[in-house]
Amino acid sequence: GNQLPKDQLDAMAQKLHRLIGLPVGYLERANLRVTSSEFRKELMLPEREQLGRYDGRYVGVDGNAISATPDSDPSNQISPALNQGYLWYVFHVLKWKTNRAYVGLNFEAYKTWDWHHRMPDSRRKQPLPDVAADLAAAMRKNPYLQVLSENGYF
């Protein structure tokens, strides 16, 4: 967005406003680049609420209306039910056995995480431990790059 002529920037900001509901001025100031955290913060800013990160049906109080990103995740309210469903599946269907306790959110790991990494093509710090943006940037730079992602039980 920062290299678009003013008339094209205005037109695209208007179109995005109609599609996603964020204010035109905000979209223009962001050069049409809004992260998911910024989106879920800004969308409900007038109500001083914020959307859930994993599930937009969950809405919570925005405890700090002037911060750029949400300070919590209302969708964490559903974590106990998700954890129980997951644990039932791995123990009963997959027949997984372990003596270790399941830790859904590991706050000890967050304390020691190196948060200095910046996402590719961004001036913002990485909001969460996530390499998807790095992988996406590598795939854009090398259109012949092939990625195999495997998940499952072994």
Kindly report the pTM of this predicted structure: 0.59
The pLDDT value recorded for residue 129 is 64
Q: Does residue 61 have a pLDDT over 70?
A: yes
Q: Does residue 154 have a pLDDT over 60?
A: no
Residue 149 forms part of a structural domain: no
The pLDDT value recorded for residue 150 is 73
3-state helix, strand, coil in the chain (%, to 5): 45, 5, 50
Rounded CA-CA distance 53/75 in Å is 6
The pLDDT value recorded for residue 7 is 94
- Neighbour-count burial for 60-89, b at 16+ CB within 10 Å, e otherwise: bebeeeeeebbeebbbbeeeeeeeeeeeee
Structure tokens at 28: 């223009």
- In one letter, which amino acid is 40? R
Residue 134 forms part of a structural domain: yes
Residue 129 forms part of a structural domain: yes
Q: Does residue 127 have a pLDDT over 70?
A: no
Residue 15 forms part of a structural domain: no
Under the banding of pLDDT at 50, 70 and 90, the label for residue 134 is confident
Greater model confidence, 116 or 29 = 29
Structure tokens at 110: 């967050």
Contacts of 113 (CB under 8 A, 6+ apart): 129
CB-count exposure of residue 9 (10 Å: 0-12, 13-18, 19+): middle
How many folded domains does the chain comprise? 1
Residue 127 forms part of a structural domain: yes
